[in-house]
Structure 1
Amino acid sequence: MRGVYTLLFVSDPVPVKKAARKAAPTKRKHSPPAAKRERVEMHGLVAAVLETEVFATKLKGLGGKKEIVLDHVTREARAFAVAVVMGHVAKAIPGRRLWVLCPDVKTQDALHAELMVWGCPALYFPRQSALDLEALQDPESLAERVSVLSRWREHAPDCPLALVVCAESLGETVPAAREIENQRRTLEVGAKLDVEAFLEELDGAGYERVPVVMERGQFARRGGIVDFFSWQAEEPLRLEFFDDELESIRAFDIHHQASIRRMERAGILLQISEAAADEGKVEDYLLPEDIVLMVGGDESRPCQVRIVEDAAPGEMVEDYGTAIHENPLGVFDASDFVLHEARRKQFQMQVKEWQGMGWRTVVFFHNEAEKERFAELSETLEMKPLESLLGLLYRGFTVPAAKLAVLTGAEIFGRHQHTRRVRGSKLDDPETLRKARDVLRELRDGDLVVHADHGVARYGGVSTRIAPGGRREEVLVLHYADEAKFFVPVAQAHMVTRYVGVGGKAPALSKLGGASWQKTRKSAEKSVEEFAAKMLTISAERQSVTGYAFSHDTKWQVEFENSFLYRETPDQLRCVEDIKADMESPKAMDRLLCADVGFGKTEVAIRAAFKAVMGGKQVAILVPTTVLARQHWVNIRERMSEFPVTVEMLCRLTPKKNEKKIIQGVREGNVDIVVGTHRVISKDVRFKDLGLVVIDEEQRFGVKHKERFKEMFRFVDVLTLSATPIPRTLYLALMGMRDMSTIETPPPNKQAVQTMICPYDERVIKQAVDMELDRGGQIFFLHNRVMTIEKVAQRIRELCPRAKVIIGHGQMDEELLEDVMHTFVDGRADVLVCTTIIESGVDIPNANTIIIDRADRFGLADLYQLRGRVGRGGQQAHAYLLLPRDAVTAGDARKRVNAIKQYAGLGSGFKIALRDLEIRGAGNLLGTEQSGHIAAVGFDMYCQMLKQAVNKMQGRRVARPIEVALRADFLVQTEALMVQAAAGATPAFLPSTFIEDTRMRITAYRQLGEVMTRKELDELESQWRDQFGDKLPHAVTNLLTCASIRLAAAHAGISDVEIKDRKLMLTRNGKLVMIEGRFPRLMEKAGHKQLAETLVMLRSL
């Protein structure tokens, strides 16, 4: 597996940028050769240090018995020192592996990230996160640890490699090396493999048989295709067999269930049992020839190399040549280098001094834009040009022995990027949850459902019944009021949707055959039409208002966007384009931007604000609380620090003397951007030339404030932000009524929150708090009872005396609660004991642990939202769900694990919860009255009604293709009817031999029923070929042709298609379509050919 290690080298540390808008200058792209040059230069810096006499002499004895100490190495240079040691090992003693032991997780994260910058191949070994008590560890965590150990054992001798590990992890339990070796198998294309025996082996190894593989440790079989997800793998595999020959191996994407690439061979790990998981220790993997490098920490632990900050006892620093010092310039405050002459002179003097002594001075920039910006600013400085490289270094340092000074753009401009560790698995990230829920929408027994014609029922599963004529057919069983039952053929599964309301109260079951459902439906339809009319009127009024048309992007706009420290998601870029198009239009903008917390909507708003300032306009950013105001002010000020933009804050935290100056600056136009609470819309605050208003969380402002918004901002561009995601179906239904943009994809490298389930145990609480404090983080402790919250907080103080514990809950005075939040956000407290009232919009990157007391009292959607409050920085986040002891220990082990999976977010529970959470967002957006109708008819049906109402009012009568009636005298559309069909009948259905699992067949029918375009149909066909086999049965190809006919008919306005005696009878607007006074006659005789001919005719209409 040598190829694995090539992935560990940093191929290009520069964030990949998308092409700019046509009106903007083209952004510079970085070709692979340039990336390679950067990497060579980085290695050149390491080589330059290795060539110095002091370092060469010091490292000469490496590999012997004597410990080598690299003394007085500043924290910022630890990774560089490790890179130097790795460079020496690769050159002098090749093939030796390097263990890099770190004193804590924070150091481990930073070291691993920076080693990648220096081009050093390194594996990151995650710490055991389930504590050593009765917690159930997240299998994803165990799988990741096993994956790292597996790759570490397979290390190729000619490839240098480091394992970055927390020193305390050496004693943690892991599967023994022999266990991993015994359970390893290799699969190769063309090899003979007994499929049944292989499946039995998977089953015996503890793999779970499922219809759709979504997690590690699962497998599924569909005819000649076997999907499975090995414990140590980064992605699942799809094996396609012809008899017992393995025809192909494909890696596939669990989000879309689509194959992504072919492989000739693959290694798999059959079993890591719970017993085997504790048989070995991490230190057992340490071989005698391995080199151990200790970064600070425990001096009693034996190692070959030690890197420390302090000088060795009895040794003078000036006599010690391998010292690496911190950057003597310190860190520039935001805007200092840009605006302050004194700081620029200090920088110039220091660099000239280095250059005069023959030093090599290198500056690392995050991206090309930062490099270009520095080049512009340094034109006024009288000194020789500096070397520049691209890489995400946090701080600079100097190596006097090598006459080397390394600086970073972040230090110069006062901006820093959080260290983010890339986690290999993305099984639990929001993008996975969003897309996977469409794959796992199968109904469960007992679910509330809505049948389009008969109303709310309770789902009773799939059954087989004897249909008229003695045929057996599969049906969905629906239970209605008064113990009535209704049977829906599987082929009509699209008529049934899972019921989702907006409140916690379950609706009453409908009465089968009664008039109440039709009344409810008509009432909802009438209200929806009124709502749509109102929304369209508001939209039309807004469109008639003439605003200010901003010009196209300036050069500074391009530079500003290029200076973003992270890679934008496609959704972010699309939203930026939408907003810019609105701003450049003469109509006043009124756009809603929806995104989950942490998905980057603030950056989108900041770019819009910068564009407005570049256009000579002022910007007001309104937020509901002082906590958010301060956070936005700090972020925007830092983000724009490289440009002459004045950003101020107005809220109760602003000192009175400053407040007067700011208000005057706003009036005179000296303040470009003002961030604040409702203080910004006070009568004494008057803008000289307001061009853009950004309103964050509008629903949290009062009615009076909203009325003031309408009065003040009628002629300016308005961008409203919402942190609650909304369902895509509603988004599509509202298109045309309100300008909306959504961000549905998370930022790159967003790590999943590791979730542990445990009985309430004070030892768990103490260890969880101590572990977070050890890495300098903060903790949420959620206790949702105000009466006992003080008592709980006091107990935490007793358990963890070094932690500063504060309390926050909804019954506190509003200003006092905000002060509590400021204390926590500023890092002046370690543990916040709180109720659910604490706002979720605040970004606290340093809060990486949440402990939820009595997690069983929360719904899955609540747990999903609460869990999302941690893990917004670069650190691995942890969620501990404390349950009553009997809830964890009840039942046998298998049942306990399955019950707990829903809380851990490993099954589909959280995927469904995310959808429920989105529905709440829908309720917020649509208002109370519409929420009532959603509750009555269910969300999916409501969205269909809304979309139809909008289409009707805008003159677009596009029917859903599935609603087009299709009949043919030769067509058989169910498997049950095919048994007794006449010779020559044409089948058009999904045979049970093609999709064996009934639930998957239901899902497939539903997917087909929701297809709206030819492109979607083609994609669905490709998906079926990939998942179920490339050779589709005739019944399936005919079914797809029928779907194409319905699509073509719907787009031609045809509501009814009938083929009888080779005559084609089409109905449009209630009238039959005739050609020259007669029905068109089909030339073909065979049924499947008549379908194809019908399709050609419909497409020609």
Structure 2
Amino acid sequence: MNINPLQPPLLREHDNMVTWDGLFGAAISLSIANFSELENKLLIIITPDVQTAEKYLAELKFFLHDSNIPIYFFPDRETLPFDHFSPHEDLTSERLHVLSQLPNLKKGIVIAAISTLMHRLPPISFLTAHRFNWKIKDILNLTQIKTNLTEAGYRHVEQVIQHGEFAVRGAIIDIFPMGSEIPFRIELFDNEIDSIRSFDIDTQKSIEKIETIQLLPAHEFPLTEDSITHFRQQWRAKFSGNPAESPIYQHISKAQPIGGIEYYLPLFYVQCATFFDYCPGNSVCVSVNGSGNEHANIFWNEIKARYTQLSVDSTRPLCKPEEVFVPVPELFSQLKNFTQIKISPHTPLPSPALTVDHRNPNPVENLQRFIATNPGRILICAESTGRREILLELLKKNRVDIQLIDHWNAFLNTTSKMALTIAPITNALFLSDAQLILITETQLFGHQTIPTRRSKKRVQDPDSIIRSLAELQTGAPVVHLDHGIGKYIGLEKIITDNVESEYVTIEYADRDRVYVPIHALHVISRYNAANSDSVALNKLGTNTWEKAKEKAAKQIRDTAAELLKIYADREASTGFAFPKPTDDYLAFRRAFPFEETIDQRIAIDAVIHDMTNAKCMDRLVCGDVGFGKTEVAMQAAFLAVMGGKQVAVLVPTTLLANQHAQNFQDRFSQWPIKIGALSRLQSTKIQNETIQKLNEGKLDIIVGTHRLLNSQIKFKDLGLLIIDEEHRFGVAQKEKVKSLRAHVDILTLTATPIPRTLNLSMTGMRDLSIIATPPAKRLSIKTFVYDYDEIMIREAILRETMRGGQVYFLHNIVETMPTIIEKLRDIVPEASITFAHGQMPEKMLEKTMSDFYHQRFQVLVASTIIESGIDIPSANTIIINNANQFGLAQLHQIRGRVGRSHHQAYAYLFVRNKKALTKDAERRLDAISELEDLGVGFQLATHDLEIRGAGELLGESQSGHMEAIGFSLYMELLDETVKALKAGKAPPDTFVRDKGPEIELHICALFPENYIHDVHSRLTLYKRLSSCENFNAIQTMKSEVIDRFGLLPEPAQHLFDLAYIKIRAKVLGVQKIDVNKLFGYIQFNDQPNIDPKIIIDLIQKQHQNYQLAGKNTLRFKTVSDKPAERIQMVDNVLQKFE
């Protein structure tokens, strides 16, 4: 029957199979949306593939914008049949959440691809048995809880950072439940739950109190003793051969999950379930876009082909396909248990000619003719806010009266003839009965425009990232300020005078060792240099280390003088002080659709501070691809325009210029700010018009390539230059930028700064901001390095395309690209493949990238032109051929092309022969594969510094001196020298760090191992505590430690007490405090910060307790065996001097 999407027919009592005809495009989603509001039933929307499922999800959310009907998406595992990978924890979390909701969902919508529904699932009883709630006042047995969580698949870790993890520290349990968007912290009082709080993954600090939480199992399989026994019995019964040879059997026997274990689900259960076993009896299955036998059979054939290909591995025997997947006949037999609606594909009517023609004096003449001849009401759907504003301006300019509306129901309730909204609709919709018409941008402009990508706390001090000891592995080289380069051995407990203390052990030449007290860790830093693996260890008792420091100091003085000249020129230049932020700026800032991360907020505030000062800004904002650098630039641009200045945004490629221009149009759409673009893709006429507007001050913001630096362009009043990826520009362009630095504010954005840029930033010549906080749901990129393997290439491409995604295949030799394309078509004949490189005509290149963005192709074979390309959220796999030929910064930038969505992203780095790689190439590939974590752009740049021998600073080779004392110490000495020269003081001949007072109270002061188990956590906390410079820093850290690990045991309390004493002693000019059971000694430096009269008064009035014991030493009497009393006594003595 032909269906009216606004009034779809209700089901009759005995309807088993209903066909809806006459629907196409958005009419299908609109029909389903209205049907869901009319019927009290659960609708299962079955699509032919994942990509179509996501399309219907977006459209249904638009049509049901203000409805209370729940809409769920049941995600695919995103792995190939019988894969060696397991789904990401976030996917498993989402799947288990949907399955837990299904049985009791009486009304709502669940969307899934037909291939997803063909996977067998755990029985409902599994979820019931392993789902439980915790609430305030519940009694928990901690031992039993650990067992239950482990059996439910949760991983016991030191610090919870992702779904399926839990940590126990004394009376505190941290857990990130599956199905939850946030982790929780449970605090026990005895065995009773005293509080439940959500907490932040990055800072590990509590956020708000919660009354109750629900826990789902962490996997789709159990790891109880009974289930493991059942698994082992089924394995031995089903498979021949020795189970001990199978890693899967061995891992599960030890209750350890292994990649791909989901394809052995039948061995855990007597009988698996299917998706439809979870669905209520009143569910209605809606098949759309021909999601029937054809697509199910295609997937079943892929299952059988994979089974045949992989079943030869005797260490990884496979369950039969029908045991793990639902065969096509069984699938459609199960569907017959539910009422079915089949929406037959319908060929749309020819679309009327509505194309906007900018060559016509009236560009919207076609649209106006259509409006005049159609009595119905019309809704135009724009793809983004910026596109909506551009359309609105175009229509109003040509006298088309139109109303802005927010959602579908607002359009139905208005009487306006024409309306404009933002909606994810890609196909037109004509409702002749209701005289309603939906028009898309595709109809108006002939192709889809590229919308902006939107991304939804951790504060990273640039210096601390470099010098952090958290990454130290046993055997890694470290630098001790007094003794030189040694090898980190670990933390070691030593007992002296019956007091246990913890020390960092460093080994030097001839196996001599130095033990550094945990309160003095600020004298240690990591050794970063090109030869970290083979660096010679210093020999104790010689002057080699002092000579190395002296040589470095002498050479650094010359470098510092050069740096100071640059700095002086910059300081002397008088720039423009922009007005302080107004209410308009605050409104613009609030309009950012996502909460600013802490890193973003700090970077923005730093930029605003720079711009409102008369000194010219020169700031580098470093952050991984997609971490929000552009928003920092946009807020700076807004402030500049509001201050009456023009803004230029300089980007390395025309494709990027187009996308940045679009992004700026979107973000500034609500403000009367004129934005233009300039690139070679434009006609000469348009370029000349843009330049004229720019010179006359009729454009506020211009986005373009190096064409912006052409001498033909004379800005009327340029106030801010924003540079994206400065290292992509040539020498001539950089010199032009350099000439602007003296009188224009400059903001540079980069994902991986080149080492020289980084060096300049770290020495204060340019200011540096780091954005290291990833967007919400952004996952790290799994990175692999392999010898070239066509089977692995096929798997990588299919793994991505089968979940609806796309693949970059990077091949940087244009001449052999046709050969590679033909080879790929042989390897993966089912994938659609196109190509892009810099030697193509630019308009063809733009069309290719636009086609790839709109998913008209699945694989893009490309050169490094994609390095600074447009954002393509659906591309989440990149294959890099001959990866050893790229630099580390370039590999990081290229890898950043993927992982722009919440899907797990993969990077495959292929080389011809791993064994034949050079040492540098091997280290580069090791570095990129090891640093999978998000926000590692800064660390990668420092790795690049190490690999290149720290490069050249200001054109003068520094590598020898940097290698002699290590990058961290070198930069610290350079910084101190610059500061000394600035202050008019003589720079140091060598480097002596103020170690602060030496405090020895002969008490146990440490973090006990049974309080903080992880040695790296203890080491990091010791380092942080020794670097605290005031009481507030100590108090903040103490609060954090209690929050994370529970109430402080006595030795940990003593550790913080000593830190307080050290701060107080340093202020007073105390050099050393030594207190035992009978006497205490306080040794002052030569110029203490105390009144001598106080000491004299103490000695005269309390001579039995206080006496001088030498020139600068005060002796006092103590009679206490108790550490707390001894601490209090020292504190009291110091207070007398304040």
Same fold (TM over 0.5): yes
- SS of residue matched to 2:482: coil
1:541 is displaced (CA, Å) by 2.0
Give per-residue Cα distances to partners, 1:909-940, cap 9 Å, x unaligned.
64796663142577689667466655444454
Is contact 2:772-2:935 (8 Å) kept? no
1:833 is displaced (CA, Å) by 4.3
- SS of residue matched to 1:59: coil
d(CA) in 1 for partners of 2:44, 2:927: 36
d(CA) in 1 for partners of 2:906, 2:117: 24
In the other structure, the counterpart of 2:1062 is 1046
Residues 933, 386 of structure 1: alpha-carbon distance in 2 compared, 3 angstrom cutoff: same
1:521 is displaced (CA, Å) by 3.3
Residues 146, 551 of structure 1: alpha-carbon distance in 2 compared, 3 angstrom cutoff: closer
After alignment, is 389-398 or 696-705 more displaced?
389-398
Matches within 5 A, 1:889-1038: 910=933, 916-920=939-943, 929=957, 934-942=962-970, 944-949=972-977, 952=980, 963-967=995-999, 971-973=1001-1003, 975=1004, 988-1030=1005-1047, 1032-1038=1048-1054
Q: Which amino acid aligns with 2:10?
A: K
- SS of residue matched to 2:199: strand
1:496 is displaced (CA, Å) by 3.9
d(CA) in 2 for partners of 1:116, 1:879: 29
Residues 1075, 627 of structure 1: alpha-carbon distance in 2 compared, 3 angstrom cutoff: same
Is contact 1:175-1:276 (8 Å) kept? no
Matches within 5 A, 1:674-689: 674-689=702-717
1:825 matched to 2:770? The reply is no
1:708 matched to 2:731? The reply is no
d(CA) in 1 for partners of 2:515, 2:1051: 23
1:478 matched to 2:506? The reply is yes
Residues 291, 460 of structure 1: alpha-carbon distance in 2 compared, 3 angstrom cutoff: same
Is contact 1:203-1:209 (8 Å) kept? yes
- SS of residue matched to 2:479: strand
Residues 1070, 944 of structure 1: alpha-carbon distance in 2 compared, 3 angstrom cutoff: farther
Residues 695, 370 of structure 1: alpha-carbon distance in 2 compared, 3 angstrom cutoff: same
Q: Which amino acid aligns with 1:916?
A: Q
In the other structure, the counterpart of 1:795 is 823
d(CA) in 2 for partners of 1:411, 1:600: 32
d(CA) in 2 for partners of 1:496, 1:738: 27
In the other structure, the counterpart of 2:620 is 592
d(CA) in 2 for partners of 1:330, 1:610: 35
Is contact 1:155-1:161 (8 Å) kept? no
Candidates 154, 157, 174, aligned match of 1:210: 157
Candidates 95, 118, 122, aligned match of 2:71: 122
Q: Which amino acid aligns with 1:513?
A: G
Candidates 1080, 1087, 1101, aligned match of 2:1126: 1087
d(CA) in 2 for partners of 1:54, 1:432: 60
Give per-residue Cα distances to partners, 1:152-187, cap 9 Å, x unaligned.
346454xx3322212221112443333333333444
Is contact 2:723-2:747 (8 Å) kept? yes
Q: Which amino acid aligns with 2:51?
A: K
1:1076 is displaced (CA, Å) by 1.7
1:796 is displaced (CA, Å) by 0.7
After alignment, is 371-380 or 1005-1014 more displaced?
371-380
Is contact 1:224-1:242 (8 Å) kept? yes
Matches within 5 A, 1:441-452: 441=470, 443-452=472-481
With structure 1 as the length reference, what TM-score do the two structures score? 0.74
After alignment, is 1018-1027 or 848-857 more displaced?
848-857
Give per-residue Cα distances to partners, 1:512-533, cap 9 Å, x unaligned.
3332333333444455555555
Matches within 5 A, 1:36-435: 58-61=8-11, 64-89=14-39, 93=40, 96-117=41-62, 118=65, 119=67, 120-140=69-89, 143-153=92-102, 155=104, 157=106, 160-203=107-150, 207-230=154-177, 233-268=180-215, 269=217, 272-273=221-222, 278-279=265-266, 280=272, 281-300=274-293, 304=339, 306=341, 308=343, 310-311=345-346, 342=362, 388-389=406-407, 393-395=423-425, 397=429, 399-402=431-434, 404=436, 417=451
d(CA) in 2 for partners of 1:904, 1:187: 41
d(CA) in 2 for partners of 1:141, 1:885: 34
Residues 556, 223 of structure 1: alpha-carbon distance in 2 compared, 3 angstrom cutoff: closer
1:542 is displaced (CA, Å) by 2.0
Candidates 710, 719, 725, aligned match of 1:691: 719
Q: Which amino acid aligns with 1:461?
A: G
In the other structure, the counterpart of 1:720 is 748
1:699 is displaced (CA, Å) by 3.0
Is contact 2:661-2:675 (8 Å) kept? no
1:870 is displaced (CA, Å) by 0.8
- SS of residue matched to 1:213: coil
- SS of residue matched to 2:824: helix
After alignment, is 407-416 or 580-589 more displaced?
407-416
Q: Which amino acid aligns with 2:619?
A: R
d(CA) in 1 for partners of 2:444, 2:636: 25
d(CA) in 1 for partners of 2:994, 2:122: 53
Is contact 1:781-1:831 (8 Å) kept? yes
- SS of residue matched to 1:297: coil
**Matched pairs, number:** 979
- SS of residue matched to 1:710: helix
d(CA) in 1 for partners of 2:817, 2:561: 48
Is contact 1:115-1:121 (8 Å) kept? no
Give per-residue Cα distances to partners, 1:29-79, cap 9 Å, x unaligned.
xxxxxxxxxxxxxxxxxxxxxxx9966874321675343444444434544
In the other structure, the counterpart of 1:979 is none
d(CA) in 1 for partners of 2:1067, 2:957: 33
After alignment, is 277-286 or 1049-1058 more displaced?
1049-1058
Is contact 1:226-1:238 (8 Å) kept? yes
d(CA) in 1 for partners of 2:835, 2:449: 32
1:960 is displaced (CA, Å) by 12
Residues 1015, 491 of structure 1: alpha-carbon distance in 2 compared, 3 angstrom cutoff: closer
Residues 154, 67 of structure 1: alpha-carbon distance in 2 compared, 3 angstrom cutoff: closer
Residues 863, 592 of structure 1: alpha-carbon distance in 2 compared, 3 angstrom cutoff: closer
d(CA) in 2 for partners of 1:507, 1:1094: 47
Is contact 2:468-2:525 (8 Å) kept? no
- SS of residue matched to 2:51: helix
In the other structure, the counterpart of 2:296 is none
Residues 518, 186 of structure 1: alpha-carbon distance in 2 compared, 3 angstrom cutoff: same
In the other structure, the counterpart of 1:876 is 903
- SS of residue matched to 1:848: strand
After alignment, is 1061-1070 or 520-529 more displaced?
1061-1070
d(CA) in 2 for partners of 1:705, 1:420: 31
Matches within 5 A, 1:540-579: 540-550=568-578, 569=597, 571-572=599-600, 575-579=603-607
d(CA) in 2 for partners of 1:755, 1:172: 27
1:254 is displaced (CA, Å) by 2.8
1:237 is displaced (CA, Å) by 4.1
Is contact 1:725-1:921 (8 Å) kept? no
d(CA) in 2 for partners of 1:863, 1:63: 61
d(CA) in 2 for partners of 1:171, 1:108: 15
In the other structure, the counterpart of 2:1108 is none
Matches within 5 A, 1:1050-1089: 1050=1066, 1065=1082, 1067=1084, 1070-1071=1087-1088, 1073-1076=1090-1093, 1078=1095, 1081=1098, 1086-1089=1125-1128
Give per-residue Cα distances to partners, 1:485-542, cap 9 Å, x unaligned.
3334455455444433467765332323332333333444455555555444423322
With structure 2 as the length reference, what TM-score do the two structures score? 0.72
